[in-house]
Amino acid sequence: MTDNIHPLPDEEFVTIVGTDIAEITREFHAQGLSERHYAIVHRVGRHRFTMTGGESAEALFGGKALMAATFARRQ
């Protein structure tokens, strides 16, 4: 698979994981991300997370599907 999307060198990303969108929104505000000019880059949805490792890949968060939202800031 070829990655055709390349982030700008001065772009920063923050992904917040939680049980629901309300929890994610509270954390977004608690970290002051709005004031630091972060904006959501994709829709919020349920994700299962895996740490790479081929045969020894590890399911994160006990394999539980959680809500995740990614925010970006361009400097």
pLDDT tens, residue by residue, 33-47: 999 999 999 899 999
DSSP β-bridge partners for residue 18:
67
- Cβ contact 71:11 at 8 Å: no
pTM of the model: 0.79
- 32 domain residue, yes or no: yes
Give every residue of the chain whose pLDDT is below 50, as ranges: 1
Residue-level pLDDT at 40: 94
**How many domains would you assign to the chain?**
1
Nearest-10 Cα torsion for 9, 29, 17, 52:
20
Structure confidence at residue 74 (pLDDT): 75
Residue-number span of the structural domain to which 53 is assigned: 11-74
Is residue 63 in some structural domain?
yes
Answer yes or no: is 64 within a domain.
yes
Cβ partners under 8 Å of residue 47, min gap 6: 17, 65, 66, 67, 68
Contact at 8 Å (CB) between 52 and 61? no
Is 68 a domain residue?
A: yes
The answer to whether residue 42 is domain-embedded is: yes
How far, in Å, CA of 73 to CA of 40, rounded? 9
